[in-house]
């Protein structure tokens, strides 16, 4: 068991190293010296050189990489070229927005997808089943920015009940916060509902065909009990894995939604930093997102291994 977990963590290290390497190389490929962004285009070469030295840009790439990695291990993601603030602090200050958005989006998705999944599995082939699957296909094909725009249009413009831009943090009132987070969260949820629903449906259909369900029926158990208590749990495995990993992906995937609804999250920070040529922040965010993604994946992997012992065996074989 511990060997399994240890193996997973061991796998993590080279992955992260590679990611950090790639991040640094890529960012540094982007042309444009940030010194000019800071000093303005009228800067003289000597001024640029001074800023370069200040920022450590004149050191060779390898040294900068080592410094950067060392910094990260101490929680220091560098200092923003633009705001002079520590990148880590900025990320952390913006993290709650993205986190709340991602979590809420996923919760909404699960709340809607699980009952729908069970229902369509139970009534497979019926009108409800077929129509919800059509809707699912449509939702899946629609790009995030499209659903976001549509929702903003309907609920923000036509029936103006929800604000389209802006954000109120939780500690300033849950109700207000909810008003601002609802549309973006629903946008995210709409993208995930069809996926969760179909996955649960597929697993549920398979489970319902198994013998123990037949045995439960023969015992005379009511349908609802069978569905919810006996059949649902084994069918949830894949869904749990998926929602775990989806959360990781979402953390980096809120860019579009934050952009449309002008939310002060990590995604919009990323866009801003890119336009500001603040590549240290960009590096920091990229690394942070990658770390979060890998970490969540490991947790999901381990959790899965805990739940299903067959996985453990397969990995060590």
Partner 1 sequence: MSNPELVRADADPLMGLGGPVTGWQARALRGSAGLVRGRIGVTLALGWLVVIICLALLAPVLPLPAYFDFVGAPKVALGLHAPYLLGTDYLGRSVLVRLIWGTRISLTVGLLAVFLGMIIGLAVGMTAGFFRGRVEAVLTVFIDAALAFPPLILLLAITAVLQQKLSTLIIAFTLLTIPSFARLARANTLAIAQREFVLAARARGTGSFRIIRREILPNVILPTISYSFIIVASVMVAEGSLDYLGLGIPPPTPTWGGMIASGQQFLATNPELVFVPAVVLLLTVLSFYTLGDYGRRHLDVRQAKL
Partner 2 sequence: MLVALMTDNGEGHLRQGEVLLRVTHLVVEYPSAGGGRVHAVSDVSIDLVEGETLGLVGESGCGKSTLGRAILQLPRPKSGSVIFDDLDLTHLRGKQLRRIRQKVQIIFQDPISSLNPRHRIFDIVADPLRMWRTGTKAEIAAKVRQVLQDVGLDPDAVGRRRPFELSGGQCQRVCIARALIQEPKVLVCDEPVSSLDVSVQAQVLNLLEDMKLRYGLTLLFIAHDLAVVKSISDRVAVMYLGKLCEVSSADDLYRRPAHPYTRALLRAIPIPDPAHKQSIEGVITGELPSPVSPPSGCRFRTRCPRADEICAAEEPPMRELADGHHVACHHPLWDGTGAAEPATSVAVPQGGGELTCGGS
- Binders of partner 2 in range 287-316 (CB under 8 A): 313, 316
From CA 60, how far away is CA 150, in angstroms rounded?
49
Q: Kind and range of the H or E element at 302?
A: helix 279-307
Q: Using CB distances below 5 to 8 A depending on partner kind, what does residue 317 bind out of partner 1, partner 2, none?
A: partner 2
Q: Is the dihedral of CA 267, 268, 269, 272 positive or negative?
A: positive
Provide, rounded to whole angstroms, the least separation between the CB of residue 35 and partner 1.
17
Compute and round to an integer the Cα radius of gyration of the chain.
24
Q: Using CB distances below 5 to 8 A depending on partner kind, what does residue 237 bind out of partner 1, partner 2, none?
A: partner 1
Nearer to partner 2, 159 or 317 (CB): 317
Provide, rounded to whole angstroms, the least separation between the CB of residue 237 and partner 1.
7
Which residues does residue 86 pair with via DSSP β-bridges, in sequence order? 79
Q: Is 317 in the site for partner 2 (CB under 8 A)?
A: yes
Q: Using CB distances below 5 to 8 A depending on partner kind, what does residue 198 bind out of partner 2, partner 1, none?
A: partner 1
Q: Is 10 in the site for partner 2 (CB under 8 A)?
A: no
What the block records as the tokens of 91 is 């990320």
Q: Using CB distances below 5 to 8 A depending on partner kind, what does residue 92 bind out of partner 1, partner 2, none?
A: none
**Measuring CA to CA, which residue among 253, 247, 242, 237 is closest to residue 295?**
247
From CA 190, how far away is CA 198, in angstroms rounded?
13
Nearer to partner 2, 130 or 313 (CB): 313
**What are the residues binding partner 2 (CB under 8 A)?**
313, 316-317
């Amino acid at each position: 068991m511990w060997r399994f977990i240890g193996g997973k963590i061991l796998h993590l290290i080279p992955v992260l190293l590679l990611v950090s390497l790639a991040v640094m190389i890529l960012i540094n490929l982007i042309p444009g010296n940030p010194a000019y962004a800071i000093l303005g285009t009228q800067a003289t070469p000597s001024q640029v050189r001074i800023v370069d030295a200040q920022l450590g840009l004149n050191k060779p790439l390898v040294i900068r990489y080592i410094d950067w990695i060392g910094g990260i291990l101490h929680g220091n993601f560098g200092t923003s070229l633009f705001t002079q603030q520590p990148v880590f602090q900025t990320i952390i200050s913006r993290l709650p927005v993205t986190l709340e958005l991602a979590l809420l989006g996923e919760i909404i998705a699960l709340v809607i997808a699980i009952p729908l999944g069970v229902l369509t599995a139970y009534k497979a082939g019926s009108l409800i089943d077929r129509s919800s699957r059509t809707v699912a296909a449509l939702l899946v094909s629609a790009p995030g920015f499209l659903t976001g725009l549509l929702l903003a249009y309907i609920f923000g413009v036509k029936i103006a009940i929800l604000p389209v831009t802006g954000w109120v943090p939780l500690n300033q009132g849950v109700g207000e916060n909810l008003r601002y987070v609802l549309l973006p969260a629903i946008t995210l949820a709409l993208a995930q509902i069809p996926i969760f629903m179909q996955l649960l449906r597929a697993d549920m259909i398979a489970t319902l065909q198994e013998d123990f369900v037949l045995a439960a029926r023969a015992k005379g158990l009511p349908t609802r009990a069978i569905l919810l208590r006996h059949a649902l749990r084994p069918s949830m495995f894949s869904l749990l894995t998926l929602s775990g990993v989806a959360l990781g992906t979402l953390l980096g995937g809120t860019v579009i939604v934050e952009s449309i609804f002008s939310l002060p999250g990590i995604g919009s920070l990323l866009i801003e930093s890119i336009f500001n040529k603040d590549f240290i922040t960009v590096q920091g965010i990229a690394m942070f997102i990658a770390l979060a993604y890998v970490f969540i994946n490991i947790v999901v992997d381990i959790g899965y291994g805990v739940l299903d012992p067959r996985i453990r065996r397969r990995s060590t074989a």
